[in-house]
Structure 1
């Protein structure tokens, strides 16, 4: 446990684990009250906490050796970026792990402490059972040995390839170019998304760019009282070396793999008006195909090529493979480069 340093710039997040609706004046996606000269301004929210509610509080803290952060000053645009990206990280992670139905909503209110640049996020829990695993995987409430922030640091510029899950445990192996990382399956799935890695990178690095001896931390509060200076438990702690590793985080996945193959096919669905919407039978399976053979398609349009059920074609196909981190499967798409009707042997 450690206390939040008084010279740190703090951003507090309050996670409301309840089904009761709160009155919050500002949704984080509506954040726009940025003042001039780098001064961050927000209207005081009208948060109603009269009803009893269970809360989870965490704080992200930026610190450095130079005067600005020591004096609680941070560029308004950089702070707004951190707020937006934390919201995007939480909302996207929820969607990845729980589907389209949200398990929480994210709100923001002005800091309660006079003279502070802290910004409080209030996340209203719509489904705590689904929400808490998301927050643990992201790394804002603790509970996992390795979070998305930790894995992002360990990636250190390596390119993401795919993930391999374990049937008898919740662990998964994240495969990179040149190394592997083991983590909880939820963390592995989240880190497979480029936009999630992009949010982590911006949250950590944008506010600390060009600052001396930067530090980034996430604290989980041991109390629900945000007015007190209670003890905090670190869930993430990055020094200058770790922040540099995050700055090198590769936010792109491995490029799609394209191979050319020859095969005997039959057409099972034909579109006389467009190059998409076709289907072929390949190796006993029906698959969609895009027509890239202009001469072949021109003959179709001019009605100089007829099709009969069961006609076979010698085809050259272009197969593109992409890895889907959510389903942990490789997906294939096909394009027809050329096709020539297979001649039937003479009797």
Structure 2
């Protein structure tokens, strides 16, 4: 146990570390002052980053983060105490890059790898069973890193937190510095232009599209014969927006002498397109062909 580790009254281990914000002499940070909103967001986002990493690595809560002192002489310093409930918490700190053990992580911790990535899209994360290595595939290069680190740096919550912790509080400062200190040693440090390297994960990262083509019976509840958009259907008990791409169907209905009734059932060829990125997931429905109008003979459009 290091000198910065203590045992609390309920036998939990406490790991202490500090986050330092610095800037040019005479600045607010030099006088250990920071905008209240920026400071509050930095603390909140640090907790969010640590807890999210705990979820990814341990799939359970192994730690609790506390602020123990607001500032010390020399710059603006936030003192943190991490209550360690199980050894998984030490893995969180190691792989994020906020402990002395982080230096042992092959190819660098999450904070180090995120600095290399900057604002580049992550197209794919490749890994092999039985190996600790992963490959981050970018637009124009590939970066090798630890498999756990790859999970952290490709997570939008963690990348957003890094931006809020490092870049945003120091955006307008001259000669900015940011460091994390433990047991009197710097475990992580960036300064000057490096501060701008911590960007949120680009929106198009880890994009994936899956198309499922099926035949289904749907009720058309809203129509728009002037456009493929503006249509709605009742499908699997839910009213859903759908794109109508069967132009021949629209033309046939428009010129039909029989009335078109909303709410009629149709057998259709339906494409269900699932689009997933690191930041979002959405599903689009497209009717590619209307096969049959399920109505009485006197009302059938075709």
Provide the TM-score with structure 2 as the length reference: 0.70
1:65–1:214 distance in 2 versus 1, CA, 3 Å: same
* Counterpart residue number, 1:59: 18
2:290 matches 1:340: yes
Within 1, Cα distance between the matches of 2:74 and 2:113?
A: 35
Residues 1:182 and 2:116 aligned together:
no
Q: Give the Å deviation of 1:189.
A: 0.8
Alpha-carbon spacing, 1:114–1:191, altered in 2? closer, same or farther (3 Å): closer
| Structure 1 stretches of at least 4 aligned residues deviating more than 4 Å after TM superposition | 49-53, 111-117, 248-251, 255-261, 269-274, 288-291, 293-296, 331-334
User: 1:71-112: CA deviations, max 9, x gaps?
Assistant: 32322222222111101111121122233x322222223359
Distance 1:178 1:211, change over 3 A: same
- Match 1:162 to one of 124, 129, 133: 124
Q: Distance in 2 between matches of 1:203 and 1:95?
A: 19
The 3 A distance-change label for structure 1 pair 15 and 171 is farther
Q: Which structure 2 residue ranges, 5 or more long, are not aligned?
A: 222-231, 251-259, 293-302
Q: Which residue of 1 aligns with 2:242?
A: 292
Supply the distance in 2 between the matched residues of 1:259 and 1:50 (Cα, whole angstroms). 53
Rounded Cα–Cα distance in structure 1 between residues aligned with 2:90 and 2:115: 23
Q: Check conservation: 1:164, 1:172, Cα contact below 8 A.
A: yes
Alpha-carbon spacing, 1:340–1:243, altered in 2? closer, same or farther (3 Å): same
**Deviation for aligned residue 1:133:** 1.4
SS of the counterpart of 2:271? strand
- State how 1:1-347 maps to structure 2 within 5 Å: 49=8, 54-68=13-27, 69-99=29-59, 101-111=60-70, 118-126=77-85, 128-141=86-99, 142=102, 143-145=104-106, 146-221=108-183, 231-232=184-185, 234-246=186-198, 248=199, 250-254=201-205, 256=207, 265-267=214-216, 275=233, 277-278=235-236, 292-293=242-243, 301-303=263-265, 305=266, 315=269, 317=271, 319-323=273-277, 333=283, 335-341=285-291
- Partner Cα separation in structure 2 for residue 62 and residue 119 of structure 1: 9
1:163 to partner: Cα distance = 0.8
Counterparts in 2 of 1:15 and 1:250: CA distance versus 1, 3 Å: farther
Change in Cα spacing, 1:336 to 1:299, as seen in structure 2 (3 Å) is farther
What's the CA shift for 1:187? 1.2
Distance 1:241 1:114, change over 3 A: closer
- Whether the 8 Å CA contact 2:31–2:74 is kept in 1: the answer is no
Q: What CA distance in whole angstroms lies between the structure 1 residues aligned with 2:189 and 2:71? A: 25
Question: Paired residues, what number?
Answer: 262
Aligned-CA RMSD value: 3.9
Counterpart contact for 1:15–1:122, Cα < 8 Å? no
Following TM superposition, by how much is the alpha carbon of 1:258 offset from its aligned partner in structure 2, in angstroms?
A: 6.0
Question: What's the TM-score, normalizing by structure 1?
Answer: 0.62
Report the 3-state secondary structure (helix = DSSP H, G, I; strand = E; otherwise coil) of the residue aligned with 2:77.
coil
